[in-house]
Amino acid sequence: MPFLIDGHNLIAALPDIDLADENDEAKLVIKIRGFAARKKTKCTVIFDHGLPGGASRLSTNSVKVVFAAAEHSNADALIKRRIRNTRDAGNWTLVSSDREICDYARSKRMRQMSAAEFAGMLQRNEQAEPRRAEAEKPTPSEDDTALWLRRFGEAEDQVGDT
């Protein structure tokens, strides 16, 4: 079952990612990639305020990342458009705590899960993974992190109606 995720809404529900963090979206996408791999599912994550907006280089085969263009739209409008254009809405689950979006999804027979419920699933899955010793975990340098964010953190092409 694929998931349509209200990205910033989910970040607000997670205890270990802060909306004020300039890398909050990338941190969330990393969590969702792990979730999608474990569950063998696909996810589409939509964020507000992308420049120029559209599909992001953070996207993979299993996790599509989309930023709403700051001047032309917002995540709520893009989420509603995707719900409206999804032919198999009953097979999808919307992850959001926004009442208006959830009501719209319900009217299209799409399942809903609150951001807090999904955050709990993400946290439980991370805790269930085998833990490596701290010494075994590689720590990227600030230069490496900056390089990867420049390479994969910028938004790509403008998104149309889908």
pLDDT in tens, 25-72: 999 999 999 999 999 999 999 998 765 566 678 889 999 999 888 666
What three-state secondary structure class fits 65?
A: strand
Of 83, 89, 60, 66, nearest to 8 (Cα)?
66
Strands 43-50 and 54-55, sheet pairing: unpaired
pLDDT in tens, 87-117: 999 999 999 999 999 999 999 999 999 999 9
Give me the chain's average pLDDT, please.
Answer: 84
pTM, entire model: 0.75
Rounded Cα gap, residues 93 and 3, in angstroms:
5
Please determine, for residue 77, whether its predicted confidence score (pLDDT) is greater than 80.
yes
47 phi and psi angles, rounded to 5 deg = -115, 155
Select the more confidently predicted residue: 51 or 122: 122
